[in-house]
Amino acid sequence: MKRTASAVTTRHRTIDELDTDLLANLEERDRRLYAILSKTTRYRNILTGEIKRLRAGSAPEMVRALVAQWDHLRRDIKRLAQDL
């Protein structure tokens, strides 16, 4: 037990400048991925709702119009994915 505990404590060290840059880069990438995930989940929920409306008998023109109002989400997702 002592051997593993000491090995764990020796791994902790100060972060040097290169590690700080890498950490910042990874944190930024994590934020971008979260933004993509958040927007795609929101868009998926919208589409799921509109599919339910179509199955319930809503007019396709009305559903198309409702989905079109969320096109900005698709553009945001595409932009975020390209920035990644």
Tens-place pLDDT, residues 23-32: 999 999 999 9
Rounded CA-CA distance 35/23 in Å is 18
Task: Kindly provide the b/e burial profile for residues 46-80, where b requires at least 16 CB atoms within 10 angstroms of the residue's own CB.
Answer: eeeebeebeeeeeeeeebeeebeeeeeeeebbeeb
Q: How confident is the model at residue 21 (pLDDT cuts 50, 70, 90)?
A: confident
**What sections of 1-83 are H helices per DSSP?**
2-11, 17-55, 60-68, 71-83
Q: List, for residues 37-83, the tens digit of each pLDDT value.
A: 999 999 999 999 999 999 999 899 988 988 898 899 899 999 988 88
